[in-house]
Amino acid sequence: MEKSSAPWMRLSTDDSMLDQFLKQIELKTAPADFQLPTTNQTRHCFTRYTEFHRCTTAKGEESNECERLAKYYRALCPGE
């Protein structure tokens, strides 16, 4: 059986490299919307999507606030 050369496949007693890698990862998603508490996030997706498009209409596509809203709806809504 061959040893894998991929670092994530090897077992190691030294976890310092793994700890450093995990500290660099920052997972974020849209904040909770307490008006939409159910597990079905379809309405939450739609709400964030329309908020983003309203923002781009009002403030332009280069607005930092609109980019934040874009991240939210992309995190919630399914891709193609």
* pLDDT tens, residue by residue, 43-66: 888 899 999 999 999 998 888 889
Average pLDDT of the chain to the nearest whole number: 75
Distance of CA 8 to the CA centre of its chain: 22
Annotate 49-64 with b (16+ C-beta within 10 A) or e (fewer).
bebbeebbeeeeeeee
Q: What is the DSSP string of 9-29?
A: TS--S--HHHHHHHHH-----
Residue 59 pLDDT: 93
Instruction: List the structure tokens of 61.
Output: 């596509």
- Of residues 14 and 50, more confidence is placed in 50
36 — pLDDT class (breaks 50, 70, 90): low
Residue 77 has pLDDT above 60, yes or no: yes
Give the pLDDT score at 16: 73
> Is the pLDDT score of 13 beyond 50?
no
Contacts of 10 (CB under 8 A, 6+ apart): 3, 4
